[in-house]
């Protein structure tokens, strides 16, 4: 710092940065200004560096906050999902969806069908994680858990408010739709949720049964038809008809003397065959 430069009242500057809600700059400005003095930065470069750091820290804190709210199951990423074992799912197509552009703004939906253990939950959570990292707001929940909460809200005459609170989530992931019990009260709140988000906010649903068997979820045929109509009107549908990775993992654990896999992922058919052969030897 120049000998003729006025002294900086660091305490007052700290208070000013607090008032301006610039916590990142408050922490980093001494290091940045020291470096700027040493390297002879122009004032505009120092100001830009401080502003960029503040924006980066805000983005990091926002992502951290949204991850905490999303309740995503841990370890479910696109990198740990074995696309080669699910040939009907295109990595490029999924990656494009992870930007969120072009479909979340329109309230379009995603629907994953397939037998238990086929990787539906993994892929849904991985997409949710990528969307959060790209700035979107996501909530992951088992369908039955959310339905129970909405039932409580209905009994307390607060169902409309409870559904409205979910509007802050650009994507609502409803996992295991089929496990909602066939009860009129439960399925009616689920239908109201689907109707409220229709063409406004996006929903991702994982389900074991195809649409033709959704009468097991919605006891009223008219309600079933209306729910399916709203969900598929603007939807991308993935059918994941592959063998359960849980069975494959069990065989692999047996062949490796009980050592658990690092991730609960779908293994390739070739790996499965090798595991079967080793087990039979």
pLDDT, tens digit (0-9, with 9 covering 90-100), for 59-110? 888 889 999 999 999 999 999 998 888 888 999 999 999 999 999 999 999 9
Q: Does residue 56 sit in the same domain as residue 135?
A: no
- According to the 3-state scheme, what is the secondary structure of the chain? CCCCCCCCCHHHHHHHHHHCCCHHHHHHHHHHHHHHHHHCCCHHHHHHHHHHHHHHHHHHHHHHHHHHHHCCCCCCCCCCCCHHHCCCCCHHHHHHHCCCCCCCCCCCEEEEECCCCCCHHHHHHHHHHHHHHCCCCEEEEEHHHHHHHHHHHHHCCCHHHHHHHHHHCCEEEEECHHHCCCCHHHHHHHHHHHHHHCCCCEEEEEECCCHHHHHHCCCCHHHHHHHHHHHHCCEEEEECCCCCHHHHHHHHHHHCCCCCCCCCCCCCHHHHHHHHHHHHC
Mean pLDDT of the chain: 82
pTM for the predicted model, two decimal places: 0.74
Domain finish residue from 69, 92, 109: 69
How much is the pLDDT for 268?
36
| Residue 85 falls inside a structural domain | yes
Q: Does residue 211 sit in the same domain as residue 127?
A: yes
Give per-residue pLDDT as tens, 160-194. 999 999 999 999 999 998 766 666 677 789 899 99
Q: Does residue 140 sit in the same domain as residue 276?
A: no
- Neighbour count for residue 255 (Cβ, 10 Å): 17
The domain that holds 206 is classified in CATH as 3.40.50.300
| Residue 5 falls inside a structural domain | no
Q: How many domains does the chain have?
A: 3
Whether the Cβ atoms of residue 28 and residue 49 lie closer than 8 Å to each other: no
pLDDT at 7 over 70: no
Q: Does residue 31 sit in the same domain as residue 59?
A: yes
Residue ranges making up the domain that contains 252? 245-280
Q: Does residue 101 sit in the same domain as residue 222?
A: yes
Give per-residue pLDDT as tens, 206-215. 998 877 777 7
| Residue 2 falls inside a structural domain | no
List the single range of 7-21, 71-85, 111-125 with lowest mean pLDDT. 7-21
User: What percentage of the chain reaches a pLDDT higher than 90?
Assistant: 48
């Amino acid at each position: 710092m120049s000998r003729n430069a006025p002294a900086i009242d660091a305490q007052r500057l700290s208070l000013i940065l607090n008032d301006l809600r610039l916590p990142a700059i408050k922490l980093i400005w001494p290091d940045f200004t020291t470096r700027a003095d040493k390297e002879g930065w122009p004032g505009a470069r120092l100001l830009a560096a401080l502003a960029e750091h503040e924006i980066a820290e805000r983005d990091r804190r926002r992502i951290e906050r949204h991850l905490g709210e999303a309740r995503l199951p841990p370890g479910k990423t696109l990198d740990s999902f074995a696309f080669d074992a699910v040939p009907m799912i295109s990595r490029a197509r999924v990656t494009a969806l992870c930007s969120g552009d072009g479909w979340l703004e329109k309230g379009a939906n995603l629907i994953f069908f397939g037998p238990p253990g086929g990787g539906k939950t993994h892929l849904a959570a991985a997409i949710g994680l990528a969307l959060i990292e790209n700035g979107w707001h996501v909530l992951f929940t088992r369908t039955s858990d959310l339905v129970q909460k909405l039932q409580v809200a209905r009994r307390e005459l607060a169902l409309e408010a409870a559904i409205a609170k979910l509007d802050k989530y650009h994507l609502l992931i409803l996992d295991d739709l089929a496990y909602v019990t066939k009860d009129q009260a439960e399925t009616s709140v689920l239908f109201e949720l689907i109707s409220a988000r229709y063409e406004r906010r996006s929903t991702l649903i994982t389900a074991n049964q195809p649409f033709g068997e959704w009468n097991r979820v919605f006891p009223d045929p008219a309600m079933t038809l209306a729910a399916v109509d709203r969900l598929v009107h603007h939807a991308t549908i993935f059918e994941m008809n592959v063998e359960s990775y849980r069975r494959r993992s069990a065989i692999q654990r047996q062949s490796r003397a009980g050592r658990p896999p690092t991730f609960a992922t779908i293994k390739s058919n070739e790996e499965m065959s090798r595991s079967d052969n080793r087990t039979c030897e």
